[in-house]
Structure formats: C-alpha cells, structure tokens
Structure 1
Amino acid sequence: MAGGGEGAFIGAVHRMAARLDGEWTLVAGAFSADAARNERSGASLGLDPARTYARFDEMIAAEAALPLEQRMQALVIATPNHLHRPMAIAALEAGIAVLSDKPMALDLREALDIAAAAARSGAAYGVTYTYAGYPMVAEMRARIAGGDFGAVRQVAVEYRQGWLSTPADADGNKQAEWRTDPARAGQGGALGDIGTHAFHLAEHVTGLRVETLCADLTAHVPGRRLDDDASVLLRFAGGARGTLTATQIAAGEENGLRLRVACERATIEWRHDDANSLTIRWLDRPLEVVRTGGPGVSAEASALTRTPAGHPEGYIEAFANLYRGFAAALRGDAAAWYPGIDDGVRGMAFVATVVANARGTEKWTAIDDVIAAAERARG
C-alpha cells in the first residue's frame, strides 16, 4: 500500500475491504512521508519492519527484486491525486498490478500515460469506483441491458455532500486541504472527488457513453481554488439526455448519492441511503421494489450479494466486491469484473471536458474531442 497510513480514512477502508474475503494479505507499505508516522503505521498493521519502506520508489525496487513467490502482487494507491501517476507507472513497469483510488490521476494526460504503461506491461490496473460494487447497482444495470424497460431516455444522477460548506480547507482539515489544492487534487474539486463517481455510475448502469456536455462550475466558499459545486447537462450516444450534480456545499447533506434512469416503460431509481433497494416505477403497473438477495434478482446482483435477504450490506461490502473481482482477474478469470483502465480514463476525460466547457464559450463540448487533444499533447 502507498499512502493510507495513520489517520487516513481511505487507507483503513481499503484494508477492511481487502480482508473481507480472505483474498489479500498486506505485506508491504510506504504509508507516509513522515518517517515516524510511517513506522507507526507499519507496526500497527503487523508488517515486517524491513517491508515498511520510507519511500515509495524504495518499496518498488526492493519488492521487484524479491523472488516471485515472495514479492507483492499488487499495489494499492491511497494517496492524494498528484502521486497516482508516478506510483502507478513505476509499479506497472515492474510488472506489479495496480488498484488505485479515484480519480485515476491529476489530469487526463496523466491518465493516458498510465493507460499506456499498463498496455506496455500487461499488468492489471483497476480503479475503485466503489458504488458500482453494490448488488442493486448491478441489478439496475442488468435490467436496463435486458430491455424490459425499453430505451433509456433520461438520466439524473446527483452526489450531494455538505462537509465543505465552511472553509474547512483553510482551518487545518487535512482531507479538505488537499482536495481543494490544484497541485494535489488536479483540475476538479467536488468535480473530481465525487463527480467522477456520479459520472461512472451514469455510464456504467445505462451502458451508454456521454458524447457531449454543458457545464457550470462554482466555488461558493470565498478563496477556494477549486470548484465545490458542479452542474452538468449530458447528451448520451443514442439520444438520451441527462443531468449530473456534484456538490460538497449542500449544508446538512451527508453522502447523498442518487441515480434515476427514465426509460420508455419505467423509471428506475437507486439511492445510497437505501442501497439494498431498487425502485421501479412502471408506466402501466404498480410500483415495484426489488431487494438485495430477494426473489427475481439477476445473476449479476446475486454474485455481489454476501448475506441472506434482510441483512444490511453496505459500503465496505461493495468496496470488497472490487477487491474480489481484481483478485479473480489476477488468477486468470477472464470473466472477472472490476472498474479498469477505460473507466479511469473516462473519469478523467469527464473532468477535463467539464473544465474546458465551463471556461470556454461553446455551449456543448465533445468528450472525444478533449481526449483527442490530450492524446496529441502527449505526442
């Protein structure tokens, strides 16, 4: 693991998720640039002191030199965004698989660099779009793909938080501080932090790609250098339309993630605060509620379900489903699912396109045009 040491929220989440199925063992780490914190982190996790490394590059060199049966098989990246590219590329070039926090990198060009490194090395790369690991999200995707609802017409996805309603980034909150710093977070604030989750859900569940978008970005808190509020109009391939909201200044909101997809014959809704339910509002029949582990659930959702119906499953279990899929892929299971390179690049392309549109004069900006420009810039 790189990053995620003492006091870090997401590192602990990664470790809980990795342990849940007994598929993974933490064997090495470079947890913090602070030497004392790094050593305490390794000790608290029961690591061999020789495999608690002071520097990330030392860890990659030392682990790559070990016999194959002893070396680490995968690197988890749980750091601020500006470190994702160098860490991912170093690991991939050493033949080590990578499972990274989202967003994939600091910007789209860096994401394309990582994708190129993965293609050269052949090592697996995954990105933790956690919410795609929920059983009822898989159920929503399967039912839309099955065609019973007819064509997708309209998509509404929102991710609403309130934790940055005040200038927490200027008051010593480390999690807020780096997420609002362009040098460490990248082009997007709320856009990159939670907007990429919303965008991934919209494309993943519908099976449709966003072609063009029209965006508005705002920093409501005075002095904040990155957006804390994003509103985006979406146009999907095939004619569907959509709206995306990603905000961290909605006072009182906790983790309000909600996805609604309106099709020809029904509207389907999933909410993170009731993650075990999928609501279907039919045009010509009574409302239907599908429950995790309940009757009539698809094979795709059942594969992500861990307990009998009525037993709550949540964030850690969804996160663990990504780890389980990644482990299966490393064993050679060609059918194993996890969010991969394309998902990561699409997220960064979304951020870049929103920023370009919000700053520009054109009403609509095409994602493919932004990707092509980034590829040309890479040479």
Structure 2
Amino acid sequence: MTNGPLNRKLKMGMVGGGQGSFIGKVHSIAACLDNRAEVVAGAFSSNPQRSKASAADYNVAESRAYGSYQEMFDKERQLPEGERIDFVTVATPNHTHFEISKAAVEAGFHVMCDKPMTFDLGQAEELAVLVDNSSVVFGLTHNYTGYPLIRQAREMIQSGELGEIQAVRANYIQGWLRSKIEDSDQKQAAWRTDPSKSGAAGCFGDIATHAYNLGRYMTGLLSEEISCHLRTFVPGRKLDDYGTALIKYDNGGLGTVTASQISHGRENDVTIEIDGTKGSLSWAQENPNAMQVRANGQPHKIYTRDPNAPYMLASGQAACRLPAGHPEAFFEAFANIYAAAFDAIVAKHSGEKVERINTVYPNVHDGVEGMLFIQQSVASSQQNGAWLPFKCDRARR
C-alpha cells in the first residue's frame, strides 16, 4: 500500500518554485521520486499571473494555482481530507520562510522548508515553539544528510567504530560569485547577496550552514563556543562571500567550517573529514558514492554505496535505491529527507507519537541551531574572531 495505512499518496502544496527557479523542481522531483507524494497545488510566485503560468510545469490544475500562500491555505483547508494538501514545501528566499511556515503550521499543514530556516534566530525560536505545540511534522532540507554513505558514517560513528571524535573539518567551496553577477539581475545571486532577503550572512548563511549541519548530524557532538572570521572579497558586495569558523565541542574536540563562493573553478565542493581515536573518515559530495575510512597500521578502506554489501549498515541500506555501480546523488539524497519525513507524517495520521528532536531528517530544532550558528558567526567576526557561546538547548544528540 502507498504510505501504509494511509493507502494513498500524500498531497503536496508548493510555495515558490515558479518559472526560473532551480530548487522548486528539485523539491518536486525528490518528493515524488518514490511515488509517495504528488504536487496538487501551489502558490508558485508572489505574482499571481506568474503563479498561474507556472502551474503547468508541475502538472497542477490552474484552479489550484493560487495567487498567494494565504489563499492556498484558506482554500485547501475547505477541501475534504484526502483531497486537500497534506504538507507544504517552502522553496522561497530566506526572508519569507518564517511567515509562510508559521501560517502553514497554524493551518495544520505539515512543512518541508528550505534552509536556512528563517531570517533570524528570534523567528527560528518562535517557530520551534509553535511546531512543538502543534501536531505537524516539520522537516528542513539539509539534503546532504540524505546521502547513503553519510547515514552509513553516522551509524558507524555513533556506534563507536571511530572511537571518540576529536576533530571535524567541513568545507563547502563554490566559485559562482567570483564576480559581482548580482548587478546583472541574476536571480539566484540577487537575493542571496541582499541583506534584506538573505539575512545577516551571505555565504555563511547560504552554504556554511550545510557544512556545519553535516558535521553535527554525523557526529552528534554538541557545540560550546565559536570563533569566526568572515570576509567580503568582491568589492561592493554587501554580505560575506568567504569565511572560516572554529568550533569547540562539549567533549573537548574541535571543528572547523570553511565556506567560499569566490574560489575559481569550484562548483559544489562539499567535503567532510572526521578524526576519531580509533580511525578517521572522509567524504566528498562530488564523489558521493565512495567514502574513505583509515586507521593507522591498516590498509585504507574505500566504502562504496552498495545496498547488498555486508559492511553496509541498516541506515545506509535504507537510503539506497539502486544496485552498486549505478550512481545515486543529489535528487536521491533530497528524496531521502522527504521519505523520512513522510514516514513521520504517516505515523501522525495513524495516531502514533513521533520523535521531535533526534529524527532521521533534519527538523525545526536543527533549524534553530543553524540560525544560532549564523548569528554567532557574524557576531564573532564583528569582534575580530572573539570566542562566543554557541549552545543550543534542544539540539539533537
């Protein structure tokens, strides 16, 4: 049965993702990849005409292409259960995430939201309280946590295979903002470099949050303090385009996060290296189906994504769709975030109690931690790298 006891596809409403959007189509493809959901409605643009024009791109009937997210929530709530949308995907610029997510939760719709979760920490904390006091499932699309070998590594680390984790080095390096393309009205660059839309950080809010979250997800280490230096190297740009943060963890370990959007020739170079007392591992997003594991005095091991291999743990196997040698990557990782959230949504519909903090998918509390990371990184940089507290009360372990 599709979605178990629910015995139907989950119905998805999209906010954002209109013509010219990259991430909107990624969300729709990922959500529908396993045939567990379908896009049935959307407010695809803040411009009502553009929203209607975008509906065909998602095979959505024009009658359910709404002029605003408020109209979509109001009209969908009037439909019978099973016909109305079950969840909302928020694929819009940062400054709109809070108001849309808040309205969706208040309307009783589950939410899948792009990162960073909100415009600032205050909004994130308010949203977390709202979600915790509701019956909705809230997922945050830190999609790199969905790769099979990331989940394999997480299970290996948390079972003690690498020993005590002492160092985490996470990097996210791009080069697409090497020149000031925001001045040519390039849509993606324009809002990401605009403080009124992106928030207090540019590069660090956009991609360093992914790198930080990846280390937290894999290791479970809780942070204590942060020191950061941010720079804006392209003249006239209003937000940072390069930065490095040093993090002290509660077990005495150290982490570094480096992010760049001005490195020539770099595309989407996400890498992570983790050192433990018994071994170390490394993974690169541009070669996602292989992971290196090393221990002194032993041959280096290369784990490949193989759902049938005896070394693959349950979480890694569950994130695979294809046999070994058939590359799985970005869309599939995104789909794994949706699949884990769908499991929680179906459980909710069945009256079951679901986990709120230590979920397989990134959740609202990961979103709060991400906003705290941005806030304290910016504040530290403004104080010439001063060490500042970086603790999140309800962070995942």
What letter matches 1:208 in structure 2? L
Query: 1:155-195 CA deviation, whole Å, 9 max, x = no partner?
Result: 11100000000001112111000001111111110101101
Task: Measure the CA separation in 2 of the matches of 1:185 and 1:271.
Answer: 27
What letter matches 1:363 in structure 2? A
What TM-score, normalized to structure 1?
A: 0.95
Query: 1:265, 1:282 within 8 Å by CA — same for their partners in 2?
Result: yes
Query: 1:329, 1:337 within 8 Å by CA — same for their partners in 2?
Result: no
**After alignment, is 160-169 or 29-38 more displaced?**
29-38
Counterpart residue number, 1:325? 340
**After alignment, is 319-328 or 331-340 more displaced?**
331-340
Counterpart residue number, 2:378? 355
> 1:5-16 alignment to 2 at 5 Å?
5-16=18-29
Higher helix proportion (structure 1 or 2): 1
Query: 1:286-321 CA deviation, whole Å, 9 max, x = no partner?
Result: 101111113311111001011111110000000001
> 1:293-372 alignment to 2 at 5 Å?
293=306, 294-332=309-347, 334=354, 337-360=360-383, 363-368=386-391
Q: CA deviation at 1:46?
A: 2.2
Counterpart residue number, 1:114? 127
Task: Measure the CA separation in 2 of the matches of 1:218 and 1:225.
Answer: 10
SS of alignment partner, residue 149 of structure 2: helix
Task: Measure the CA separation in 2 of the matches of 1:216 and 1:205.
Answer: 24
Task: Measure the CA separation in 2 of the matches of 1:330 and 1:348.
Answer: 25
Q: CA deviation at 1:63?
A: 1.0
> 1:91-240 alignment to 2 at 5 Å?
91-240=104-253
Query: 1:17-64 CA deviation, whole Å, 9 max, x = no partner?
Result: 011100111111001123332111113322222211011111111112
**After alignment, is 39-48 or 220-229 more displaced?**
39-48
Query: 1:199-233 CA deviation, whole Å, 9 max, x = no partner?
Result: 10011111101211100011111111111111111
Counterpart residue number, 1:58? 71
What letter matches 2:53 in structure 1? R
What letter matches 1:314 in structure 2? A
Overall identity of the aligned pairs, in %: 38
What TM-score, normalized to structure 2?
A: 0.91
Counterpart residue number, 1:275? 288
Q: CA deviation at 1:275?
A: 0.4
Q: CA deviation at 1:362?
A: 6.8
What letter matches 1:302 in structure 2? Q
How large is the RMSD of aligned CA atoms in angstroms?
Answer: 1.4
Aligned pairs, number? 370
